[in-house]
Amino acid sequence: MHQQLKTLALVVYIFTSFQLQAQVLNEPEEGHSADFTEEPGPERPCISAEEYEVMEKTLQENYLMLGLDQKAITAMTTKFAWPLRQANGLNDCSYYYITNFVDQDTTADSTRDWNCGKRTYDDHKGVDIAPYPYSLYKMDSNQVEVVAAAPGTIVARADGRFDKNCDWVSGSDANYVIIRHQDGSTSRYWHMKKNTVTSKVVGQTVVTGEYLGVVGSSGRSTGPHLHFEVSRTSNRSDYVDPFGGICNASNDSTLWINQLPYIDTGIMKVSTNTISPVFPACPQTETPNEDSCFLGGVSAKFYIFIRNQRAGTSAAMRILRPDGSVFSSWTKDFTDNFSRSYWSWTRTYPTATGTYMFEASYNGKVCSKPFRINCNLTDTKTKEGVAGTLFFPNPISTQSAIQFEPALNGATLLIYNSMGIVVQRHTNFTGSSLPLQNTHLQPGVHYIQIADGVSGTGPVKLVLTD
Ligand SMILES: [Zn+2]
């Protein structure tokens, strides 16, 4: 984690700005931010020796209290699911990248990961996974959750510790959970956000995928990330590497149910902005400045965010009209390897009203986001709902109908008044229009919440007029 952020601070952001003539595409403006993980760093433990000692003493006491055996009962059979997920309301194409693997080289000042590379640091006993982009914004908004990677019993937990560390702070302890699995192995989830750790206590059980907390930067951490560590027993010296590969000396095969590729190249997110996002230094929170509703004909930026960009690959971008025809398209050839990167191009928005799509295709996957042109012209404001669904207008007359694009299918719709009381509830709502006439809704500030069972919005302000 440290290496990347430190390098990031040195990276020069190349951002020049010019507006292209309407709808004429010249060479795009580009900006990038990236960092390298190729070089090994000095020893920078995510968990300090003192913190490990306290942890093991806590585990001894808790095992005694729960009547558990500290040694592995059998050979290790536990397989792990991914320990992170997007919270309700976050629908990015992806949201994380791996910053460091386990160090397989036990020689001091020497590093080697499971694939014989150098994506680790000395004496690192876990896997570091960081949200991207906007890791502090995601932390503030509770958008990336830590979940149990396998079923088991909570054998230790801590919460209430400071959670916005940006460098290694001596004596800084983390918010964490440790789970003991049926075969006696343990998994550790470190650095969580303050006051977000599961309310379950030591001795209670969790199932795979169950909420444990929100990704934060408590303890020895330089920015929000999860340190995920696995041990055959309750002892840290029995740690294993969940990734199976020829340079993994600690275990024969992968411990993941689905092991990710070593280089997991992919498109993570696309966005359209008229105001550039702001990326201040940790601990300040980023400002994404994203929107999905714009005036036609104005200058805008189109962003793509990439994980494990590889030299020699290219990305293809398209802006599609409401009828699916291509409004504009361009490609970008990459010449560098970056663990994460973002790129932007300035274009002029179309002038014709409607819902458009911005999409980027990279490494066999397409990531897209709808945006609407001219919803502001009648003093309306569009907000994003479920999985890219837009609803408009807002403010809206109680004699009118809320429109959804694309249409909702089996969604739950809740409208609250300013007192937080539900004044309209629609379950299994399907369609593109919700009439408000004859529903006895009063003018004033309301809130609307949409969920489709998989994702949803938080309450979004909805202003009703006569
Ligand atoms: Zn770590």
B/e letters for 196-213, b = 16+ CB within 10 Å, e = fewer, are bbbebebeeebebeebbb
Q: What is the pLDDT of residue 232?
A: 93
Cα 2 to ligand 1 centroid, rounded to whole Å: 10
Cα 174 to ligand 1 centroid, rounded to whole Å: 12
Name residue 226's beta-bridge partners. Answer: 129
- At residue 129, what are phi and psi to the nearest 5 degrees? -130, 125
Q: What is the pLDDT of residue 106?
A: 87
Q: What is the pLDDT of residue 278?
A: 87
Cα 228 to ligand 1 centroid, rounded to whole Å: 7
Name residue 392's beta-bridge partners. Answer: 403
Q: What is the pLDDT of residue 453?
A: 57
CA distances from 30 to 17, 305, 344 (A): 9, 12, 5
Cα 184 to ligand 1 centroid, rounded to whole Å: 22
Q: What is the pLDDT of residue 12?
A: 26
Task: Please state which architecture CATH assigns to domain 49-240.
Answer: Distorted Sandwich (2.70)
Cα 125 to ligand 1 centroid, rounded to whole Å: 7
Cα 136 to ligand 1 centroid, rounded to whole Å: 18
Q: What is the pLDDT of residue 23?
A: 27
CA distances from 138 to 95, 130, 141, 214, 288 (A): 9, 11, 5, 9, 10
Distance in angstroms (rounded) separating the CA atoms of residues 443 and 464? 5
Q: What is the pLDDT of residue 8?
A: 35
Cα 185 to ligand 1 centroid, rounded to whole Å: 19
At residue 57, the 3 state secondary structure works out as: helix
Cα 226 to ligand 1 centroid, rounded to whole Å: 7
Report domain extents, the chain.
18-33+264-377, 49-240, 378-466
Is there a shared CATH topology between the 18-33+264-377 domain and the 49-240 domain? no
Cα 309 to ligand 1 centroid, rounded to whole Å: 22
Residue where the block lists tokens 């207008």: 393
Cα 207 to ligand 1 centroid, rounded to whole Å: 24
Cα 383 to ligand 1 centroid, rounded to whole Å: 37
Cα 160 to ligand 1 centroid, rounded to whole Å: 20
- At residue 139, what are phi and psi to the nearest 5 degrees? -65, -50
Q: What is the pLDDT of residue 454?
A: 55
Distance in angstroms (rounded) separating the CA atoms of residues 158 and 190? 10
Cα 311 to ligand 1 centroid, rounded to whole Å: 27
Cα 41 to ligand 1 centroid, rounded to whole Å: 13
Cα 330 to ligand 1 centroid, rounded to whole Å: 39
Cα 286 to ligand 1 centroid, rounded to whole Å: 23
At residue 29, the 3 state secondary structure works out as: coil
Cα 78 to ligand 1 centroid, rounded to whole Å: 21
CATH class of 18-33+264-377: mainly beta
Q: Could you tell me the pTM of the whole model? A: 0.76
Cα 119 to ligand 1 centroid, rounded to whole Å: 12
Q: Fill in the amino acid letter for 88.
A: N
Strands (E), 334-400: 338-348, 354-362, 365-373, 383-384, 390-392, 396-397
Cα 201 to ligand 1 centroid, rounded to whole Å: 24
Distance in angstroms (rounded) separating the CA atoms of residues 384 and 404? 10
Q: Fill in the amino acid letter for 371.
A: F
Task: Please state which architecture CATH assigns to domain 378-466.
Answer: Sandwich (2.60)
Cα 124 to ligand 1 centroid, rounded to whole Å: 6
Cα 126 to ligand 1 centroid, rounded to whole Å: 5
Cα 101 to ligand 1 centroid, rounded to whole Å: 8
Cα 221 to ligand 1 centroid, rounded to whole Å: 8
Q: What is the pLDDT of residue 25?
A: 31
Distance in angstroms (rounded) separating the CA atoms of residues 368 and 303? 11
182 and 151 in contact (C-beta within 8 Å)?
yes
Cα 239 to ligand 1 centroid, rounded to whole Å: 13
Q: What is the CA radius of gyration of the chain?
A: 24
Closest CA to 39 of 3, 10, 9: 3
Contacts of residue 191, defined as CB under 8 A and 6 or more positions apart, other chains included, come to 46, 163, 174, 175, 176, 215, 216, 217, 218, 219, 221, 224, 225, 226, 227
Cα 229 to ligand 1 centroid, rounded to whole Å: 8
Cα 294 to ligand 1 centroid, rounded to whole Å: 41
Cα 231 to ligand 1 centroid, rounded to whole Å: 14
Cα 99 to ligand 1 centroid, rounded to whole Å: 9
Q: Give me the DSSP letters along 93-125.
A: S--EEEEE------STT----TTSS--SBTT--
Q: What is the pLDDT of residue 388?
A: 60
Q: What is the pLDDT of residue 458?
A: 57
pLDDT per residue of the chain (466 residues) written in tens, 0 to 9: 444 433 333 332 222 222 222 222 333 344 555 444 434 344 467 888 889 999 999 999 999 999 998 877 778 899 999 999 999 888 899 999 999 999 999 888 888 999 999 888 888 999 999 999 999 999 999 999 999 999 999 999 999 999 999 988 777 899 999 999 999 999 999 999 999 999 999 999 999 999 999 999 999 998 999 999 999 999 999 999 999 999 998 888 999 999 999 999 999 999 998 888 888 889 999 988 887 878 888 888 899 999 999 999 999 999 999 999 999 999 999 988 888 889 989 899 999 988 999 999 999 999 999 998 876 443 333 444 455 667 788 888 888 898 887 788 888 888 887 777 778 888 788 888 998 988 788 888 888 877 765 555 556 778 898 8
332 and 267 in contact (C-beta within 8 Å)?
no
Cα 58 to ligand 1 centroid, rounded to whole Å: 20
Cα 283 to ligand 1 centroid, rounded to whole Å: 19
> How many CB atoms are closer than 10 A to CB 332?
18
